[in-house]
Amino acid sequence: MRYKAYLRLERGYSGNTLDAYLSDLSKLLKYFEGEGIDPIHATLQDLEHFSAGLADIGIHERSQARILSGVRSFYRFLELEKEIRQSPAELLESPQIGVHLPDVLSVEEIDTLIGAIDRTKQEGQRNRAILETLYSCGLRVSELCNLKMSDLFLEEGFIKVEGKGSKQRLVPISPRAIKELELYFTQRNQIQIKRGEEDFVFLSFRRGTHIGRIMVFHFIKELCEATGIRKTVSPHTFRHSFATHLLEGGANLRAIQAMLGHESIATTEIYTHIDRSRLREEILLHHPRNIKYFQEHQKDTKIP
C-alpha cells in the first residue's frame, strides 16, 4: 500500500505508530464499505457521520481524536498524490479532551517498588535495572525494550534513545541506575542469546530475546499488588513521575521536554498542571491562615 510507504518513509513513523495508523484507517474504510461510500469521493458530512458513530459506540474521546487524526493524515496523503483536489477532512473537528492528570508515584513509593523486587529470583536484578532506568531516564516502555548496548555511554553518564519517528536523543542516566545495570550485566553474560538479539540491553532469560512491553507491565502490576500500592501504575507512570519530580525540583520545562523527547512543549506542559495541583495542596496544608481555619473548624465540629 502506497499510504503505508508514505507513513514509513515520508513521515518516519515507527512500527507501532504505523500499525496504529493503519488500524485506525481500517475502521474508516470498513464504515465506508458498509455505507457504500467511495473513500475518494467522501465528503466532510460523511466523515462527520463516521466521527459521530465512534462516539455512539462508546469510544473514548482520546481514542476518537487519535482515529480522526489518522483520517486527516490519510486524506492529506490523497491530496499530495493528486487523487483528490481538496481534503474533506480539513474542517473535521476532534472531540474536546480535558487535561488528564496521570497518577504520579512519590520517591518513597518508587523506592518501595524497587526494594520489593526479589534479587534471589533469576530476573530480579534485571527488573531492578529496568525500573531504575525507566525512572532515571524517563523512557517510554518501547524505548526501554529497544535500548541497545551500543546506545549506552555509561562512563560519560548518558544513553542514546530512539524515540517516536526514529528521532534520537541523549539522556542523562543516574549513578544508581548505572550501578543496577552493571550488576545485571553480570547475569546477562550468562544468557544464551539468540542470533540478532545480541545488542539489546534487556533480555528474557528463558527465550534469549529482548523483552516485550507486556512483560514489563506484568511485573510492575505484580509489584504493586505485593506492596499494596493502589494507584494506577504502568511503565509510563515512572516517566510521569520522572518529569513531575524534575519540575518540582526546579528543572526548566524546556530541559524536561528535551529529555522526554516531546516534539511540542505543549505536551510537556501537562506537568505544570500536576505541579500546580500539588502546590495548591501544600498551600492548603501549610499556610498559617488555612491552619488556623482548620483548627477552628475542628473545634466547632468536636463531639462533646
Task: Give me the DSSP letters along 214-234.
Answer: HHHHHHHHHHHHHHT--S---
Q: Residue 193 carries which DSSP code?
A: P
Residue 135 annotated as catalytic: no
CB–CB of 70/3 below 8 Å? no
Among candidate residues 76, 148, 160, 236, the one labeled active-site is 236
Residues sharing a CB contact under 8 Å with residue 234, sequence separation 6 or more, in sequence order = 141, 217, 220
Active-site choice (126, 239, 240, 245):
239
Choose the catalytic residue: 4, 27, 148, 164. 164
Contact predicate 87/75, CB 8 Å? yes
Give yes or no: 236 in active site. yes
Q: Is 164 a catalytic residue?
A: yes
Query: Which listed residue (27, 179, 207, 262) is catalytic?
Result: 262
**Could you confirm whether 239 is annotated as catalytic?**
yes
Cell 475502521, residue located: 27
**160 counts as catalytic:** no
Note if 287 is an active site residue: no
| Active-site residue, selected from the candidate residues 140, 188, 210, 245 | 140
What Rg value do the Cα atoms of the chain yield, rounded? 24
Q: Is the Cβ–Cβ distance between 25 and 71 less than 8 Å? A: yes
Which residues have a catalytic role annotated?
140, 164, 236, 239, 262, 271
